[in-house]
Amino acid sequence: MTEDKTTTMFNNTFVRPAKFYLSGFSNIPHIRYFYAFLCFVYIMTVLGNGFLLSLISLVKTLHTPKYMIVFNMALTDLCGSTALIPKVLDTFLFDRRYILYDACLSYMFFVIFFASVQSWTLVTMAYDRLIAICFPLRYHSIVTEQSITAILLFVWIFLVSVIATMVGLVNRLSFCRSLVVNSFFCDHGPVCRLACNDTSLNYNMASALVAILIIIPLIFIIATYVCIFIALSRTTSREERLRALKTCTSHLILVVIFFLPIGITNIAAMTSYIDPNARMINSTLTHTIPALLDPIVYALKTEEVMNAVKKLCKRTYLNRMKAKTRPCNHCCIKS
């Protein structure tokens, strides 16, 4: 009878821990070099995306719907890296591995949210290229500032709702087992694996998020480029085809940089055993390197951005020359 009471009490107990312990990057020799590399990646990401954001804001020729999407990508890259890298460095470089329960859920939300926005910003870029190449005469009437603002606003609101729901469902879990999260951040899967009650709803929601974050965007982007290649195959001029494809190269590079590492990591995890530390390092790079490379790709591969940089440099130089040649009012002394 006593045993039955104890079991009933245990089943009714809902355990919400004060803290979790992040166990990532354990027993890796010379790991401080990797932390130094992450610090370098973060500094360059801030500088690169900060420069791109400033350039789009300051140069009026870039105040177009296309560069509204690029601005959104740079902002998301900057926010995503800021949500992840400083906290990773603080946690592991300074050995502050314990994280408060609510802070863990916030950490989970922001890292996953900004990764999701990056994915759907690439979809929005694909839509822009589809209209530009397949419906060139109607481009300026379809792709307007209002329509792009509406699309991006919908993406942000929709993803906030979905990811907040997924993270919120973690609150229904009871953590009566180990509190050690086998990851470098409060990732959804490793946290849910610590629960001792039914997690089927959480895993169903996570599966839906994988579809929303990776599968649906990738299908849409592939379908977009199939339509683009069909449209280009109907044009007779080879020069026109090359000119049109040239406008897509930056976007295609960004798509490869974002989706290829995620795909390789997930396929490798499903088909073979990967050392947990190797998986975590690979996952860290998957989250951080695209944000570093995106502004570099746009700066080097996009003619409009290069022209805007030259224009901004020229304007800055002329302003300095004017300031130097301007007569100084304080130089004239009345006799």
Q: Which pLDDT tens digits describe the chain residue by residue (335 residues)? A: 334 333 333 445 678 889 999 998 888 888 999 999 999 999 999 999 999 999 888 888 888 999 999 999 999 999 999 999 999 999 998 889 999 999 999 999 999 999 999 999 999 999 999 999 988 889 999 999 999 999 999 999 999 999 999 999 999 999 987 899 999 999 998 999 999 888 899 999 999 988 998 999 999 999 999 999 888 888 767 787 788 888 888 889 999 999 988 888 777 767 777 778 888 888 898 899 999 998 888 776 677 777 777 777 777 766 676 766 665 555 554 44
235 located within any domain: yes
Closest CA to 22 of 206, 197, 176, 191: 191
229 located within any domain: yes
How far is Cα 107 from Cα 58, in angstroms, rounded to an integer? 33
- Which segments within the chain are labelled E, that is strand? 19-22, 98-100, 180-181
196 located within any domain: yes
Write the DSSP symbol of residue 211: I
Residue given tokens 């089943």 in the structure block: 11
Domains identified in the chain, total number? 1
- In this prediction, residue 5 carries a pLDDT of 38
Q: What is the residue type of 325?
A: T
Structural domain span for residue 241: 19-296
7 located within any domain: no
- In this prediction, residue 326 carries a pLDDT of 63
Specify the CATH number for the domain of residue 127: 1.20.1070.10
How far is Cα 125 from Cα 259, in angstroms, rounded to an integer? 15
The length of the chain in residues reads 335
Q: What is the residue type of 252?
A: L
203 located within any domain: yes
314 located within any domain: no
How far is Cα 95 from Cα 80, in angstroms, rounded to an integer? 22
- In this prediction, residue 10 carries a pLDDT of 41
- In this prediction, residue 106 carries a pLDDT of 95
114 located within any domain: yes
What is the sign, positive or negative, of the torsion defined by CA atoms of 232, 259, 256, 124? positive
289 located within any domain: yes
Q: Supply the pTM of this predicted model.
A: 0.86
